[in-house]
């Protein structure tokens, strides 16, 4: 009799375990992978071999989608416009996909390359959609945005519609439509800057190459704001200035880096090289004096600054 009770008890435990396993399995939803152009593979969770996909397949939690230089894929989570395009030379992983059509938790990772996300619905309070990258975590609620992860782990994001929140555990920022943000792996978030392409985002944050000339090899006054009345923070020679990090919208002032901080010069001789977009600032913008990155190049840092006085010209031919 005791042996029978033990068997019944074990059977009940086994049934409960199976039931719990079924519930657990049902908590992870599946998505549809569609091949838009050839060159798409899947690495199933817990496996080691990549599987080529020619038309479409089902993908779930833990699966990684990889594209080669020609491959493009679309991962559709819900039929009403919750999907992601995985562009060439990219890797994309589904980390969490639970819930139902009304309320869900969706967490994915862009491991490398570029993706475009569409979330054509306003999420309820119980839903979340986040993207992990090496540089930051992105959270969206009804929007369209693109993500790029470079070989170095540097991550960038551009918003087309809606608002996306970006954070890296110590900082956070709201990025509206037609703006972007960037962060290196394990580094700080950049400023939120206006950009519609990743080339524009890079130019706005990394600066644009420039050539500046002055008469008689005089130095140029560098101020903390684009105004002749602004505080003078130092002097720069024309050869020392090889990058602009911004300009004013209506005047001839340009933002540079001097001694690891931003400053402004007035110039009518500047020739800007190939540049997707030079960041624009309002005429009344004032720097806060904080140290910034990127730092001046070693070549510029080693140059000897010419003697300068308050009478040094703001630009060749105009007095300060």
Own/partner long-range contacts of 143-148 (Cβ < 8 Å, ≥24 apart): 143/117, 143/119, 143/177, 144/116, 144/117, 144/118, 144/119, 145/116, 145/117, 145/175, 146/114, 146/115, 146/116, 146/117, 146/198, 147/110, 147/114, 147/115, 147/116, 147/117, 148/110, 148/113, 148/114, 148/198
- Who has greater pLDDT, 144 or 308? 144
Identify the DSSP state of 22: H
Are 32 and 51 contained in the same domain? yes
| CATH at residue 291 | 2.30.30.40
Q: Please say if the pLDDT value at position 306 is more than 70.
A: no
Has residue 45 got a pLDDT over 60? yes
Residue 314: inside a domain: no
pLDDT band at 99 (very low <50, low <70, confident <90, very high): confident
How many CB atoms within 10 Å of residue 175?
Answer: 23
- Clarify whether residues 47 and 183 are in a common domain: yes
**For 28-36, what is the mean pLDDT?**
92
pLDDT at 24 over 50: no
The pLDDT of residue 293 is 55
Question: What are the strands, taking DSSP E only, across 28-67?
Answer: 31-37, 40-43, 51-53, 56-59, 64-67
- 279 with 190, same domain: the answer is no
Instruction: Quote the pLDDT of residue 27.
Output: 55
Same domain, 49 and 187: yes
At 59, the pLDDT band (50, 70, 90 cuts) reads: very high
Q: In this predicted structure, what is the pLDDT of residue 318? A: 39
Residue 14 lies in a domain: no
User: Which range marks the domain in which residue 241 is found?
Assistant: 208-302
Examine the domain organization and report whether 267 and 193 are in the same domain.
Answer: no
Domain membership of residue 250 (yes or no) is: yes
Same domain membership, residue 223 and residue 149 = no
Mean pLDDT of 34-54: 97
Distance CA 146, CA 148 (A): 7
Average pLDDT (62-75) is 98
CA torsion through residues 230, 233, 234, 235, sign: negative
CA distance 74 to 71: 11
Output the pTM of the full model: 0.80
Please state, in angstroms and as integers, the Cα–Cα distance from residue 295 to each residue in 19, 64, 80, 154, 192, following that order: 60, 37, 46, 18, 19
Answer yes or no: is 284 within a domain. yes
pLDDT at position 68, please?
A: 97
pLDDT (0 to 100) of residue 298: 40
pLDDT in tens, 213-267: 887 778 899 999 999 999 999 999 988 999 999 999 888 899 999 989 999 999 8
If DSSP states are collapsed to H, E and C, what string results for 130-169? EEECCCCEEEECCCEEEEEECCCCCEEEEEEECCEEEECC
In the chain, how many domains are there? 2
């Amino acid at each position: 009799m005791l042996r029978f009770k033990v068997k019944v008890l074990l059977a009940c435990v086994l049934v409960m375990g199976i039931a719990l396993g079924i519930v657990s399995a049902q908590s992870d939803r599946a998505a549809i992978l569609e091949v838009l152009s050839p060159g798409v593979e899947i690495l199933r969770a817990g496996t080691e071999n990549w599987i080529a996909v020619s038309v479409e397949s089902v993908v779930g939690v833990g699966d990684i989608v990889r594209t080669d230089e020609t491959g493009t894929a679309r991962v559709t989570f819900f039929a009403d416009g919750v999907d992601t395009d995985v562009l060439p030379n990219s890797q994309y992983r589904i980390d969490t996909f639970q819930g139902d059509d009304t309320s869900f938790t969706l967490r994915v990772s862009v491991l490398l390359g570029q993706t475009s996300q569409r979330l054509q619905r306003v999420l309820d309070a119980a839903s979340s959609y986040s993207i992990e990258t090496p540089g930051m975590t992105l959270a969206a609620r009804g929007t369209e945005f693109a993500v790029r992860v470079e070989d170095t782990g540097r991550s960038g994001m551009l918003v087309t519609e809606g608002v996306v929140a970006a954070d890296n555990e110590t900082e956070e920022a709201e990025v509206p439509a037609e703006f972007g943000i960037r962060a290196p792996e394990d580094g700080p978030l950049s400023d939120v800057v206006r950009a519609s392409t990743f080339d524009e985002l890079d130019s706005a944050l990394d600066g644009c190459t420039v050539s500046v000339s002055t008469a008689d090899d005089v130095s140029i006054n560098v101020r903390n704001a684009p105004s002749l009345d602004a505080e003078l923070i130092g002097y720069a020679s024309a050869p020392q200035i090889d990058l602009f990090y911004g300009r004013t919208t209506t005047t001839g002032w340009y933002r540079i880096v001097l001694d690891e901080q931003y400053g402004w010069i007035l110039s009518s001789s500047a020739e800007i090289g190939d540049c997707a977009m030079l960041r624009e600032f309002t005429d009344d913008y004032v720097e806060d004096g904080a140290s910034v990155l990127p730092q001046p190049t070693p070549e510029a840092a080693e140059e000897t600054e010419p003697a300068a006085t308050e009478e040094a010209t703001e630009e060749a031919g105009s007095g300060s």
